[in-house]
């Protein structure tokens, strides 16, 4: 048995051991934290050095914007609806100065009224020379024998859906003077449903609504000048209409848009939640995998059906890739270049199919929108790394009830035919 003195010595020895263990534990924790901090700092420096080489102008501008925002409370965060534009008109890379836009009366720096069709709507009418094409029974017209079934289910969705469509949509259509037959048809059909509308053209005309939007391309308004034309259109939208609209859709004059369905898709929770994620951007369209050697997993937003941007995405794209990503590139493949440059902002693109996997954006007309180009793209979507099941053999299952665009109409009366079958009574209109 230990004496009283021995017990006191033993307790003192144990306290010294416990205090030493506690000291050692704290020292090890501090030491480990110090080592971890050094490692993380090293990784971060390497990451920053790596990304600086790939930084777009947008990255650099956003850094400056974030630093200034603490000093200037009037500058809003770039993800809010009040967007602080960082590039002034005339300061875009390889974009003509605004003074190069010539108005209908020869005025320089012309800015059109995007609501010209709302203030002066145009009525749908059947022209004498188009009666035979427009007034034939469903299935005998340019929609083909299977087209009426697809259009009937789309019509039913437009008429019966109770989903929210409360967004402001700007529709930008590229055209030229000889395309007035097409833009007149758009004005009489789907164009008047857009909250803002632009016919980007080689001249300005109040009657047709065309607006002179030049580019610096040596090909001017020809097909091989499409890359530069698209850049000029995006800069024009950014300079003049960024804060007035929620979404912007860019397409050609041979497209028919079901505006109700487009607005419904853009007002959906899926789109809203997607666009609310910081550093994630809405670039919507059909995932095309066609033309030359392409790796699995690569696609671009097919320009046929057009592509849709949120105001946040338009701002980021114009302030970043538009200024620094192949600004002098020439050619007709504007959709591929647009998508490649968008990848400087994000590699994430929203899936635009509906809940059944049916597609909304169509690269062809309703008579031929499941052709070999589309089928190749669908087969690509089925393969890894995308691995999305597709309706390749069933045209009806492939076509969404909430389809938004159809492309490649060769004649203006085809757009009016779509209007008849989707919204009107052929017998009554043609009687």
Query: Same structural domain for residues 73 and 166?
Result: no
CB atoms < 10 A from the CB of 215, how many?
24
Query: Same structural domain for residues 174 and 268?
Result: yes
- Does the residue 385 lie in any domain? no
For 256, the 3-state DSSP assignment is strand
Query: Same structural domain for residues 277 and 211?
Result: yes
Q: CA-to-CA distance for 119 and 143, rounded, in angstroms? A: 32
How many domains, in total, are found in the chain? 2
- Does the residue 377 lie in any domain? no
For 401, the 3-state DSSP assignment is coil
Query: Same structural domain for residues 248 and 105?
Result: yes
Backbone phi and psi for residue 198, each to the nearest 5 degrees, phi listed first: -135, 130
- Does the residue 337 lie in any domain? yes
Dihedral (C-alpha) 101, 106, 109, 112: value to the nearest 10 degrees?
A: -80
Residue 91 pLDDT: 97
Residue 293 pLDDT: 80
- Does the residue 88 lie in any domain? no
Q: How many alpha carbons fall within 13 Å on the CB side of residue 86? A: 25
Q: How far out from the chain centre does Cα 213 lie?
A: 20
DSSP assignment string, 137-177 = PTTSSTTTTTHHHHHHHHHHHHHH--S-----EEEEEE--G
- Does the residue 362 lie in any domain? no
Query: Same structural domain for residues 166 and 68?
Result: no
pLDDT tens string, the chain, 431 residues long: the values are 445 555 556 555 655 655 555 555 555 444 554 554 444 444 333 333 333 333 343 443 343 333 333 333 333 333 334 578 999 999 999 999 999 999 999 999 999 999 999 999 999 999 999 999 999 999 999 999 999 999 999 999 999 999 999 999 999 999 999 999 999 999 999 999 999 999 999 999 999 999 999 999 999 999 999 999 999 999 999 999 999 999 999 999 999 999 999 999 999 999 999 999 999 999 999 999 987 789 999 999 999 999 999 999 999 999 999 999 999 999 999 999 999 999 999 999 999 999 999 999 999 999 987 888 899 999 999 999 999 999 998 888 999 999 999 999 999 999 999 999 999 999 999 98
Domain that holds residue 266: 98-139+162-352
Query: Same structural domain for residues 205 and 176?
Result: yes
Query: Same structural domain for residues 121 and 55?
Result: no
- Out of 352, 369, 399, pick the residue that ends a domain: 352
Query: Same structural domain for residues 282 and 342?
Result: yes
Q: CA-to-CA distance for 405 and 192, rounded, in angstroms? A: 15
In this prediction the pTM is 0.81
Query: Same structural domain for residues 344 and 293?
Result: yes
Query: Same structural domain for residues 269 and 338?
Result: yes
Burial (Cβ within 10 Å: 0-12, 13-18, ≥19) of residue 102: middle
Nearest by Cα to 383 from 270, 260, 289:
289
User: SS3 string of 307-358?
Assistant: EEEEHHHHHHHHHCHHHHCCCCCCCCCHHHHHHHHHCCCCCCCCCCCCCCCC
Q: CA-to-CA distance for 351 and 374, rounded, in angstroms? A: 16
Assign residue 330 the CATH number of its domain: 3.90.550
Residue 393 pLDDT: 86
Backbone phi and psi for residue 176, each to the nearest 5 degrees, phi listed first: -155, 180
- Out of 329, 352, 375, pick the residue that ends a domain: 352
Contact at 8 Å (CB) between 281 and 313?
yes
Query: Same structural domain for residues 290 and 320?
Result: yes
Q: CA-to-CA distance for 39 and 380, rounded, in angstroms? A: 41
Radius of gyration of the chain (CA): 29
- Does the residue 413 lie in any domain? no
Query: Same structural domain for residues 190 and 310?
Result: yes
Residue 193 pLDDT: 97
For the chain, the first-to-last Cα distance in angstroms comes to 120
Q: CA-to-CA distance for 1 and 7, rounded, in angstroms? A: 10
Q: CA-to-CA distance for 297 and 370, rounded, in angstroms? A: 21
- Does the residue 335 lie in any domain? yes
- Does the residue 430 lie in any domain? no
């Amino acid at each position: 048995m230990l004496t009283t003195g021995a017990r006191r010595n033993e307790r003192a020895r144990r306290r010294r051991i416990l205090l030493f263990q506690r000291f050692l534990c704290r020292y090890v924790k501090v030491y480990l934290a110090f080592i971890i901090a050094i490692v993380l700092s090293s990784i971060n420096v390497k990451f920053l050095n790596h990304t600086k080489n790939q930084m777009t102008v947008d990255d650099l501008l956003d850094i400056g914007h974030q630093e200034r925002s603490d000093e200037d409370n009037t500058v809003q965060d770039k993800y809010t609806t009040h967007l602080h534009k960082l590039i002034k008109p005339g300061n875009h890379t390889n974009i003509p100065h605004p003074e190069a836009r010539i108005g209908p009366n020869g005025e320089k720096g012309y800015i059109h009224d995007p609501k010209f069709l709302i203030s002066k709507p145009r009525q749908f009418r059947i022209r004498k020379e188009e009666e035979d094409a427009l007034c034939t029974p469903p299935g005998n017209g340019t929609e083909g024998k299977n087209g009426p079934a697809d259009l009937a289910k789309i019509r039913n969705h437009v008429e019966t859906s109770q989903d929210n469509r409360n967004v402001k949509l700007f529709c930008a259509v590229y055209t030229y003077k000889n395309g007035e037959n097409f833009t007149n048809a758009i004005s009489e059909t789907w164009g008047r449903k857009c909250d803002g509308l632009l016919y980007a053209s080689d001249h300005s005309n109040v009657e047709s609504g065309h607006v002179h939007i030049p580019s610096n391309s040596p090909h001017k308004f020809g097909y091989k000048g499409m890359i530069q034309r698209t850049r000029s259109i995006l800069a024009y939208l950014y300079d003049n209409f960024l804060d007035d609209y929620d979404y912007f859709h860019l397409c050609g004059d041979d497209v028919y848009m079901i505006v109700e369905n487009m607005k419904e898709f853009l007002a959906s929770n899926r789109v809203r939640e997607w666009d609310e994620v910081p550093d994630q951007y809405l670039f919507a369209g059909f995932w095309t995998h066609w033309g030359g050697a392409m790796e699995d997993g690569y696609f671009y937003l097919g320009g046929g059906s057009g592509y849709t941007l949120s105001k946040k995405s338009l701002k980021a794209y114009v302030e970043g890739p538009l200024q620094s990503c192949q600004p002098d590139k020439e050619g007709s493949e504007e959709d591929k270049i647009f998508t490649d440059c968008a990848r400087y902002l994000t590699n994430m693109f929203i899936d635009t199919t509906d809940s059944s996997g049916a597609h909304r954006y169509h690269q062809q007309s309703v008579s031929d929108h499941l052709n070999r180009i589309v089928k190749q793209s669908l087969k690509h979507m089925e393969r890894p790394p995308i691995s999305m099941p597709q309706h390749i053999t069933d045209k009806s299952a492939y076509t969404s009830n909430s389809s938004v665009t159809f492309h490649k109409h060769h004649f203006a009366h085809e757009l009016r035919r779509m209007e008849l079958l989707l919204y009107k009574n052929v017998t009554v209109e043609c009687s």
